[in-house]
Structure formats: C-alpha cells, structure tokens
Structure 1
Amino acid sequence: MNEVEREVRARMRAQGLYNDEGPGLEALVEERQRAKELTWRFNMMNPTDVAGRQALARELFGPMGERVWIEAPLQVSYGYNVSFGDDVFVNVGFTLVDDIEVTIGSRVMIAPNVTITVTGHPVHPQLRAEMEQFSAPVVIEDDVWLGAHVVVLPGVTIGAGSIVAAGSVVTKNVPAGVVVGGVPARVLRPITDADREFAYRAPGTLA
C-alpha cells in the first residue's frame, strides 16, 4: 500500500474529507470494480440457483452468519465492508454505500428499496468541488425491521428491536425498542409487551 492510499484509507475511518480516485488510489478503484462485477453476477444469476447465490454473496460481503437471504437486485460500493449476523432477510432493491463498515445484526428484516449509506458530502460547494466526501460507520443492531424505502444516513446506529417505518430518513441514532418514522425520523412510540398480542389495524382516513 502506497502512502497516498494509506492516508486516504485513514481519512475514511477518521470521518475526515477524502477523495477516493486519482493517482495512487488505483487499488480502491479496483476494489469498487470488483464489487460491481460481483454484484452484476449476483443480480443476473438464475433465482433457482440458491447455492450459487449464497456462495456469491459470501464472496462479495464480509463476515456473514447463517441463513442470510438477499434478494436481487442489489447494489454495493465495496461489499467487504458489510457484515451480517444470523437469520437476516433482505428484500429487493437494497443499496449499500459501504466505503467503511456497515454492521447488520441477527434477525434483521430489510424491506424493498432500502438504502444504507456511510458516506456523505460537505455542505459548502467549494468543499464539494473536487468530489470530497466523508464516511462514518452504520450499525443495525439485532431484531431491527427497516421498512420499505428507508434511508439510513452516515454514522447512525439503530438500536436492537426497533422498527423504522416505511419512507423514513434516519439522521440520528435510534434507541432500542421503539418505532420511529418520518423525514427526518423521530420516535413515534415504544414497543411494549402489549405488542405481543397481534391484531391488524386498518388505516384511517386522511382529513
């Protein structure tokens, strides 16, 4: 690893600004190209080839527990920065911007078209002129359910057992055992023992 690459990788994990392309950063570009190729192969694979899909997912991602199921299509930046616990279900359209670590716990449910990004850009346009960016790790703890079209932004931890309602944008850490929703997401209510008794609740009518 050359000095330029070493410095950029350090900035990526220290929440500093960095640019991941240019002289001396060929290895980072190659790693992203590898992820694109593996993702393309995964997305094009016959859905009946369960063993092949599972093997390719383990080649693409970092540590992966047992009984992890990921539906196609899928999009990732690096792949190897993402880890999964056991008994995880990921529905279609999952997007992972994983310049650094994304940790997904056990028994996590991810609905269609969820985006998790560890990377963002600075506010001032002069700092974005050269495509500068920053990264902060994301953690999805055990037993979390992310609803359809949820977006989880850099640096966020979602606490164990919590639910993120469909269409929410999560900009701050979520406590354990709550339902959150909205743009930006906020706590709607706690999850209690009363929720052990399931009953479908029909939606009301908008005023």
Structure 2
Amino acid sequence: MLLGEYYDPSDAELVRLRLEARLLTEKLNQTSVSCPDKRVEIIKSLLGSTGNSIHIESTFNCDYGLNIHVGENFYANFGCVILDVAEVHIGENCFIAPQVGIYTATHPIDPIQRNSGLEFAKSIRIGNNCWIGGHATINPGVTLGDNVVVASGAVVTKSFGSNVVIGGNPARVLKAIE
C-alpha cells in the first residue's frame, strides 16, 4: 500500500488501523477547545510525526493518521480531510485553510479493476512555509516546493516547484513569489 501498489482495503490489519484512527479522530473532534493540551496529546498520538507546535481545528478526518508527518508550527483549520493511504509529508510553518482535502488514495481507471475492490495510493509532499487556501484539493502524487501558496478552490493535479502562487482547476502558476 505504502509503495503505491494495489492493496485490498478489507485486509483485517488495515481495517483495524482505520478503526483506531477513526476512534482517535472522533475523540479529537469531541474534545473541547478549552482543553488545548489534551487536543495536542490526541493529535500527536494519531499522526506519524509532528513538531512541538501543532494545532488542528475540529472537524478533522483521516484514514490512518500514522502516515501523516507534519513539521513544526502546523495549523489546519476546520474541515480538513487527509486520506493518508500513502505517506503525506508537510513541512514546517504550513497553514491549511478550511475545507481542504489532501488525498493520496485513488482507484483504477479500468472499471473491471475498480469493481474488484483493489485500490492504490500515491504519496504527497508539501514543502516548508506553504499556505493552502480554503476548499483546495491536493490530488495523489503531488509534490509542492517551499513557499507555495495554493489559492482557494484550486484543484492541484500535478507537482509545482518552490516560490509560486498556484490556482485554478487544474491548478497552474498564477505568479512567482519574489
């Protein structure tokens, strides 16, 4: 699964891992904002690795959690969904606006293969100092360099280098950041 090969999502170990993640996200989403230390404790137990400064607003959802790695000073606003069937690496000082979707999971294009139930995934990498605008979608296999700003509503279907503002559907470079 982590290597981008076909896998069976009904595998007992994967079902168990998804259940653990859903129980932790449920706990996080029900923990009051008046208990920030408890929220951080839950987040750190859910994700694969984090920096010390991390804040995720509820609601937050993911598949496994353990495949998500975020750097120092990470912030995700309301309604973030990260489908981490493959690894998701997000650098330091990254901010995610409301309703952002980061999706490593994908399905075969061929309907016979798709109907077999097999799935696959492609990892996502987001560099340091990135800001992903509200309702943006980051698709499987995308890599974003450092200092990238993703405009609200963008659908990112391919990788981009550093120091750019991208937007649109599909996303394209709107301007360079000096």
How far, CA to CA, are the matches of 2:146 and 2:43 in structure 1? 24
Larger Rg: 1
Q: Structure 1 CA distance, aligned partners of 2:132 and 2:63?
A: 20
Counterpart-to-counterpart distance in 1, 2:118 and 2:41: 35
The TM-score, its normalising length taken from structure 2, stands at: 0.97
**Which residue of the partner structure matches residue 190 of structure 1?**
176
For the pair 1:15 / 2:4, whether they are aligned, the reply is yes
Larger fraction in strand:
2
How far residue 15 of structure 1 moved from its aligned partner, in angstroms, is 2.1
Q: Name the structure 2 match of 1:32.
A: 18
Map 1:28-67 to 2 at 5 A: 28-67=14-53
Unaligned runs of 5+ in 1: 1-11, 193-207
**1: distance between equivalents of 2:89 and 2:4?**
17
User: Any conservation in 1 of the 2:4–2:86 contact (CA below 8 Å)?
Assistant: no
Q: What is the DSSP-based 3-state SS (H/G/I as helix, E as strand, rest coil) of the residue aligned with 2:89?
A: strand
Matches within 5 A, 1:1-207: 12-21=1-10, 25-192=11-178
The Cα RMSD (Å) is: 0.9
Letter matched to residue 95 of structure 1: V
Task: Report the AA paired with residue 112 of structure 1.
Answer: P
Identical columns (%) = 35
Higher normalized helix content (fraction of residues): 1
Question: Offset of 1:34 from its aligned partner?
Answer: 0.3
Paired amino acid for 1:20: P
TM-score, length basis structure 1: 0.84
In the comparison of the two structures, how many residue pairs are matched? 178
Which ranges of structure 2 fall in alignment gaps of 5 or more residues?
none
> How far has the Cα of 1:66 moved from its partner?
1.7
Deviation at 1:29, TM superposition (A): 0.6
1:20 deviates by 1.6
CA distance in 1, matches of 2:23, 2:116: 26
Instruction: Report the 3-state secondary structure (helix = DSSP H, G, I; strand = E; otherwise coil) of the residue aligned with 1:13.
Output: coil
Q: How far apart are the structure 2 equivalents of 1:127 and 1:107? A: 40
Q: Which residue of 2 aligns with 1:7?
A: none
